[in-house]
């Protein structure tokens, strides 16, 4: 491929071959590291030139090391295990990786739609929600813009939290007061000197702080924690900048004003010309622009734009796409709620060239090309093939749909009619199940029923697979540990994917769906992003199936009232969601909170399976949390009911708290849908003292409404409050033919689907060609599916998805296909 006329990045560090005197100076000193004369000179010169002589600077080996030092210093000398680092989801991986190396869990916040920095409202909500669990706030000065440091100084004082600014691309940026960005800040500001940055050196970093004492301590930490002798007195690592890099940095410092000023003129030229894209709102007098970021219009194919620009000799990228919340490691190891703004920005962002060699005329020429390409493209052209069905999500619910088709002998037909499955992970089946430290609410027999006697021999053979044999060990037990169930779901997903592909269907792992738009012919055009490089393509289908699972949104906690008072006010910084507790490592975080309490008190709020699972997990913790009598209180609004296989079985167990409306007319089960099963059932039976069972003295229950003042006091007196308020669906953004958003019933907290699994709009009308399945979809069995008349709520269960619910969707899709052919 020919070299680009305008490469996206054109590194321009000082050329040492033109400065042999500098090399000779370093060699003659005989010092090559260890805070030598070149480094000390660079730090002093940078302080004087870039920061008006205020505070001090420290050169480090690279900016990631600088972040690690600064974060560890900000949180104190104790390790940060169980604590959180609040940061924007739209930033480079180094921000989150540095926090993790300091023992912190990244807490990812959405961004502002204008300047793409961390959203102030989201910061406040998360600081109030997590309280002193947040050890550090790490804002990112997005693409070199000058963020409001006074606000972060205020947050640091108000919440008693450490602050470190990731200003990787900002060295040379001038703030609104005409000073170098970061000048005199009371916390560490970390800049990158990487060769691709505007302050291009090699692999290096610079830390500035208005307090020289902070820099002194960071210097000692960056030298193995040595303080005046070769004995470590504090946490440390080797973060020192080599002398040759410091010498290069001094050369770059001498020209940085000219470089930044030239790049600022190029940025201005872009802004003067480009009209068909959205540009970042920036603050400050001048920024050290690394490249020109912009947002493409909705439904313009970014991949095609990048290819068209490359054909014109123009390099183009997409920073940061995928954002942190879309990257596999951080999906599994960070905490994140919905981030709709960042999702949208990451889906549409492009990065255009700004290099030291470019002129404003070059920028105007590129901008003209961008506008022309965007205008000519409009909405992406349709591919020639139109699928009958696009399944969005290949986790337990999405693969359960495929399993239902396979058990009917219809999976091959579905694939041949045009089937595409889109899944973010690199394989189908597992989803997030393996992340949880609890047992399933489905039996081993249910998991095995997906493969046993399956019409497809390659699936039926899995009954002898090691993953299936491991699940079979729990036959007759109270569920299967999810870490053991996950491998069977994944290997089943592999076989299902092979059948789909062999019959002409498509399996797009490592991809995610952005949104879907209704087409004039009644079908759907769905935007799909490849996570490896951010490339976006459009997929046409007659129907789409949303199987993206559920989540516990943070705004649910903010709006929830318990005993007549907002829950977040009652809990006052000691609130944890059950999803967080039940995940691997969640119990350890809860134990950290309770460890110092002589008689720890925990309140679990909710009457869901996750509420009972939370209680059970804490009771059996190893090593155990030292709960005394009534140490755990369950607050719930509805009576707790156990499941029974028949009315006779219930009465034989001396349980008669049910009527005919509580018995399923199809199966004869008592509380078939509303009753607790397996481990949760055993706990409820003890709590209700059914048939003389002895309750666990450590557990108490309280029906909210009997005495709201008592409930309020329980929450206020608790050391930890677990919110088990149920799950809401990940509702896919849908647009009508005119491009307007379609409001969904799920947006208002109502069920996402109707009795036929069709997704409902805000007026509770089914949206043609859109189905939903899985956790939090809101499906309620009916007719031949059975269920008790008294049931209020939604039914979730792997068996249901793999059988009746999945079959219902498959039959409707194939029926529509048959009618279309006819």
List domains and CATH numbers for the chain. Answer: 25-256 (3.40.640.10), 263-377 (3.90.1150.10), 387-552+731-782 (3.50.50.60), 554-640+676-726 (3.50.50)
Residue 821 scores a pLDDT above 60: no
Residue 383 scores a pLDDT above 60: no
How big is the chain, counted in residues?
A: 822
CA distance 227 to 427: 50
Other beta carbons less than 10 A from residue 764's beta carbon? 11
CA-based nearest residue to 484, from 413, 434, 410, 535:
434
Residue 2 scores a pLDDT above 60: no
Span 529-551, average pLDDT: 88
Expressed in percent and rounded to 5, the helix, strand and coil fractions of the chain are 40, 20, 40
**What's the mean pLDDT when you consider all of the chain?**
90
pLDDT of residue 819: 46
Instruction: Report pTM.
Output: 0.56
Instruction: Give Cβ neighbours of residue 712 (< 8 Å, ≥ 6 apart).
Output: 562, 563, 564, 565, 570
Predicted confidence (pLDDT) per residue in 566-585, tens digit: 887 888 789 999 999 998 78
Residue 391 scores a pLDDT above 90: yes
Each residue of 625-664: b (16+ CB within 10 Å) or e?
Answer: bebeeebbbbbbeeebbbbbeebeebeeeebeebeeebbb
> How far is residue 223 from each of residues 57, 154, 209, 230, 234, measured CA to CA in Å?
15, 31, 18, 10, 10
User: Residue 756 — pLDDT band, cuts 50, 70, 90?
Assistant: very high
Using CB atoms within 10 Å of the CB of residue 274, give its burial: 0 to 12 exposed, 13 to 18 middle, 19+ buried. Answer: buried
CA distance 212 to 679: 57
User: Residue 384 — pLDDT band, cuts 50, 70, 90?
Assistant: very low
Tell me which of 605 and 625 has the higher pLDDT.
605
Predicted confidence (pLDDT) per residue in 94-147, tens digit: 999 999 999 999 999 999 999 999 999 999 989 988 888 999 999 999 999 999
pLDDT of residue 401: 93
Residue 236 scores a pLDDT above 80: yes
């Amino acid at each position: 491929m020919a070299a680009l006329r305008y490469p996206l990045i054109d590194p321009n560090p000082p050329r040492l071959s033109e400065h042999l005197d500098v090399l000779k100076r370093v060699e003659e000193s005989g010092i090559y590291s260890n805070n030598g004369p070149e480094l000390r000179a660079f730090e002093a010169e940078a302080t004087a030139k870039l920061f008006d002589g205020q505070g001090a600077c420290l050169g480090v080996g690279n900016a990631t090391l600088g972040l690690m030092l600064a974060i560890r210093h900000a949180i104190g000398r104790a390790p940060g295990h169980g604590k959180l680092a609040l940061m924007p989801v739209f930033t480079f991986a180094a921000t989150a990786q540095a926090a993790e190396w300091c023992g912190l869990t990244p807490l990812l916040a959405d961004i502002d739609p204008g300047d793409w920095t961390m959203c102030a409202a989201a910061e406040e909500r998360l600081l109030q929600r997590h309280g002193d669990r947040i050890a550090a706030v790490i804002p990112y000065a997005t693409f070199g813009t000058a963020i409001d440091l006074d606000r972060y100084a205020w947050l640091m004082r108000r919440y008693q939290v450490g602050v470190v600014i990731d200003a990787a691309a900002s060295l040379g940026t001038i703030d609104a007061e005409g000073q170098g960005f970061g000048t005199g800040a009371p916390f560490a500001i970390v800049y990158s000197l990487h060769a691709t940055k505007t302050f291009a050196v090699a692999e290096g970093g610079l830390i500035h702080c208005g307090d020289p004492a902070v820099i002194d301590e960071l210097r000692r930490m960056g030298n193995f924690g040595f303080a005046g002798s070769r004995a470590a007195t504090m946490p440390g690592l080797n973060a020192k900048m080599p002398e040759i890099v410091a010498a290069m940095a001094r050369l770059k410092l001498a020209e940085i004003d000219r470089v930044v000023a030239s790049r600022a003129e190029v940025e201005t030229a872009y802004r003067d010309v480009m009209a068909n894209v959205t540009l970042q709102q920036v603050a400050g007098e001048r920024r050290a622009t690394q490249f020109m970021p912009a947002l493409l219009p909705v439904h313009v194919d970014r991949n095609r734009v990048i290819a068209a620009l490359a054909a014109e000799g123009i390099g183009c990228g997409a920073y940061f796409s995928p954002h942190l919340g879309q990257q596999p490691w951080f999906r599994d190891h960070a905490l994140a709620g919905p981030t709709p703004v960042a999702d949208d920005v990451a889906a549409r962002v492009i990065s255009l060239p700004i290099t030291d060699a470019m002129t404003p005329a070059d920028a105007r020429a590129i901008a003209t090309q961008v506008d022309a390409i965007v205008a000519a493209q409009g909405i992406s052209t349709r591919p020639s093939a139109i699928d009958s069905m696009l399944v969005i999500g290949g986790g337990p619910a999405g693969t359960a749909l495929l399993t239902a088709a396979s058990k009917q002998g219809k999976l091959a037909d579905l694939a041949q009619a045009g089937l595409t499955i889109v899944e973010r992970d690199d394989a189908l089946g597992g989803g997030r199940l393996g992340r949880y430290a609890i047992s399933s609410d489905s039996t081993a027999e249910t998991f095995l029923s997906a493969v046993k006697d399956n019409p497809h021999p390659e699936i039926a053979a899995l009954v002898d697979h090691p993953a299936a044999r491991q699940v079979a060990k729990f036959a007759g037990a109270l569920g299967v540990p999810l870490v053991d169930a996950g491998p069977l779901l994944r290997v089943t997903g592999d076989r299902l994917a092979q059948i789909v592909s062999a019959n002409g269907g498509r399996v797009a792992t490592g991809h995610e769906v952005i949104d879907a738009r209704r087409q004039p012919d009644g079908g759907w055009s769905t935007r799909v992003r490849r996570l490896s490089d951010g490339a976006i393509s459009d997929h046409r289908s007659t129907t789409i199936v949303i199987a993206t699972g559920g989540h516990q949104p943070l705004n649910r906690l903010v709006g929830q009232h318990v005993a007549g008072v907002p829950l977040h006010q009652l809990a006052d910084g000691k609130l944890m969601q059950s999803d967080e507790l039940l995940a691997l490592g969640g119990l350890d975080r809860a134990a950290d909170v309770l460890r110092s309490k002589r008689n720890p008190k925990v309140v679990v709020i909710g009457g869901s399976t996750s509420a009972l699972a939370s209680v059970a997990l804490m009771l059996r913790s190893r090593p155990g949390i030292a709960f005394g009598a009534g140490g755990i209180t369950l607050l719930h609004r509805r009576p707790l009911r156990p499941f029974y296989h028949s009315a006779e079985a219930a009465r034989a167990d001396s349980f008669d708290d049910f009527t005919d409306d509580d018995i399923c007319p199809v199966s004869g089960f008592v509380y078939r849908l509303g009753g607790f099963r397996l481990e949760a059932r055993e706990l409820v039976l003890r709590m209700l003292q059914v048939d003389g069972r002895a309750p666990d003295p450590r557990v108490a229950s309280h029906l909210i409404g009997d005495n709201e003042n008592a409930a309020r006091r329980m929450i206020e007196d608790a050391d930890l409050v677990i919110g088990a308020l149920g799950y809401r669906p990940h509702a896919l953004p849908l647009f009508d033919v005119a491009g307007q958003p379609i409001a969904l019933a799920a947006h208002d907290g109502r069920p996402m689907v109707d009795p036929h699994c069709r997704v409902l709009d805000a007026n509770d009308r089914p949206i043609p060609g859109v189905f939903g399945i899985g956790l939090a979809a809101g499906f309620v069995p009916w007719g031949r599916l059975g269920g008790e008349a008294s049931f209020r709520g939604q039914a979730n269960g792997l068996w249901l998805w793999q059988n009746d619910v999945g079959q219902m969707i498959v039959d409707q899709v194939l029926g529509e296909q048959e009618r279309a052919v006819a």
